[in-house]
Amino acid sequence: MDSLIILASASRPTCLETQIKNTYSTQCLQWHGLPKALLPVSGKPAMTWWLDEAKTLFKNIYIVTNAHNYKNYERWATGHDFPKDNILNCGFSTGPISDITFVHRVKDCRDGVSTIMMADFLYNNDDAWMLSLLKTSQDKTALYCFKDEQEKRMISVVLQPNALGALPSYVSNLNEWSTIDQEKELAMMISDHVVVDEKPAAARFMDEDLSLEEYLANWLDDAGTPCAMDPIHVKAYARVGLMGNPSDGFYGKTMSLLISNFWAEVTLLPQPTTEITIMSNPVADPRRFSTIASLAAICQEDGYDNGDRLLLACCKVFYTYCRDHDIELNTQQGFKVMFDTNIPRQVGLAGSSAIITAFWKALIQFYNVTSIPLEEQASLVLSVEQNELGIAAGLQDRVIQAYGGLVYMDFEKDYMEKHQHGKYEQLDISLVPPLFLAHVAHPEDSGKVHSTVKQRFLANDPEIIDAMKTFASFTDKARQALYDHNHHEFAQLMTANFEQRRKTYGDAVVGAVNLRMVELARQHRCVAKFPGSGGAIVGMWDGEDESTRTIDMLNLRHALEKEGYVFVNIIPKDSQS
């Protein structure tokens, strides 16, 4: 057989995933955020049960997932001898046809036969007939299904090269795509529907309405001890620096936008005792590994700095501030706390700041503290990273995550030194043009991009001082361009911001992969700049003929994905609530 494509990119959570997310027992807490295909069944992830058999049947196996679940599948791959390069991040899926064409476009495997299966297919020994069927059914395009209460349920699709060639025409218009039921479209495209006599033994596991109660009864023994008190949930969202960055760390001016595509979420569970417990995130901060090789690979990939330290440092700063400012806290009640995040790591989208901000707001809610102004909260969150953990960072991230929406920020030195915060102005997010985001799939440490600029600034290097003033001037001009609804001027300022950054830091620091993303954007009538410290770009279309916008953006997306980048259309977030 040629290729197996496993679709694990559904954007809507299943009933089981939702119920787990809303259950705060000791067992379910460790599954929060896990896709159903990776939930444990008899001691190992559900998908793992049939993967070993599939490896003997298919030359190549690809798993398509979305930006939210990518890290889960990447972590699973590391622990189960599955090539990480075959975990493909499609950004945000619009359906199976888009996902199939995405795989064949980026992996260039359009000439072979492809078998398509859903990730939550659960295999046991009684289903050996099904894999045998797929093994002997590679000579025609067909949809394989079974009868379930008079309704046909899809098991798999086998696509010949000629059928694959017909799929791209279905993804020619992104604006209309969200209204199309791609699964039904795919079924309609395939005339040969093979109804098998047997129903898969574990078919119920694949149902979207499978409940937590059924899952525990049939595939697990115990859900653990429930939480006795109502939990506190707080989300903090990713941000993109639209203009002026990185001058926020150099007494400059910036403009930043909160986006709803990615977020960090903290869950705080009140406890009847005084004890405080930091619960590790099994994906971001794993404590259990399938093998020692898996442990080594994960350490090689992610290093040793984990999210627990962010929560610990946040607790310390919060308590110390309240103590020093005579804010009374009820220390007779403790809590358990854990975090989850889908913000891509180390691509300059303020992922660590989001975790701290979410926890800070959860602590404020838990202890009922109402007297800390927003601008001061942003500075305190920054102090968690800068002073406690020694992380190089500017105020921009914490300000936008405190205020939400679109914010103009002025970090003028005298004002900052007097007030310990800048001047912040909330802008109307409807002024922002349509934006896109692209990022590298496997980033390096984003902090490296700052290089020696900070030291040169502190040494009053005139070149760096002038550069930061230039960044600040772009922000003032960009604000006026938005007020004037002059998107072309705003686009030109984005280009100027990037070129000034390139001049200030140099190509070696900016990095070839980052330069390539900007180059691809410009090849498709778009402009782009860094939204943070590197590893991602934020951009917009800047063509002259509006009729080419859709095809330009589609071609840009395909070009970026072909070279291994992840592309998403930005959805602004109007507030942090």
Q: Are residues 371 and 497 in the same domain?
A: no
Q: Is residue 291 part of a domain?
A: no
Q: Is residue 143 part of a domain?
A: yes
pLDDT, tens digit, 9 for 90 and up, residues 323-345: 999 999 998 889 999 999 999 98
Residue 344's domain comprises: 232-285+303-429
CATH number at residue 491: 3.30.70.890
Query: For residues 33 and 40, what is the distance between their CA atoms, to the nearest angstrom?
Result: 13
Mean of the pLDDT values across residues 93-102? Answer: 87
And the tokens for 196? 């098998």
Q: Are residues 527 and 564 in the same domain?
A: yes
Evaluate whether 258 touches 573 at the Cβ level (below 8 Å). yes
Q: Are residues 399 and 482 in the same domain?
A: no
Q: Are residues 280 and 392 in the same domain?
A: yes
Q: Are residues 24 and 76 in the same domain?
A: yes
Query: For residues 513 and 518, what is the distance between their CA atoms, to the nearest angstrom?
Result: 9
CATH number at residue 46: 3.90.550.10
**Residue entry with tokens 């914490």:** 398
Q: Are residues 244 and 383 in the same domain?
A: yes
Query: For residues 125 and 290, what is the distance between their CA atoms, to the nearest angstrom?
Result: 23
What is the full DSSP assignment across 361-418?
HHHHHHHT---S-HHHHHHHHHHIIIIIT-----SHHHHHHHH-SEEEEE--HHHHHH
Candidate ranges 99-108, 337-346, 432-441; pick with highest mean pLDDT: 432-441
Tally of domains within the chain: 3
Q: Is residue 226 part of a domain?
A: no
With a cut of 70, say whether residue 227 has pLDDT above it.
no
Domain-terminating residue out of 369, 402, 429: 429
Q: Are residues 59 and 148 in the same domain?
A: yes
Is residue 428 among the annotated active site residues? no
pLDDT at 172: 61
Q: Is residue 576 part of a domain?
A: no
Bridge partners (DSSP) of residue 64 are 7, 88
pLDDT, tens digit, 9 for 90 and up, residues 233-279: 999 999 999 999 999 989 999 999 999 999 999 999 998 889 999 98
Query: For residues 524 and 18, what is the distance between their CA atoms, to the nearest angstrom?
Result: 39
Q: Is residue 475 part of a domain?
A: yes
Q: Are residues 215 and 313 in the same domain?
A: no
The one catalytic residue in 120, 397, 542, 552 is 397
Q: Is residue 297 part of a domain?
A: no
Domain-terminating residue out of 401, 429, 457: 429
Q: Are residues 143 and 76 in the same domain?
A: yes
Distance separating the N- and C-terminal Cα atoms of the chain: 50
Mean pLDDT for all residues in the chain: 87
pLDDT, tens digit, 9 for 90 and up, residues 388-417: 998 877 788 989 999 999 999 999 999 999
Q: Are residues 204 and 257 in the same domain?
A: no
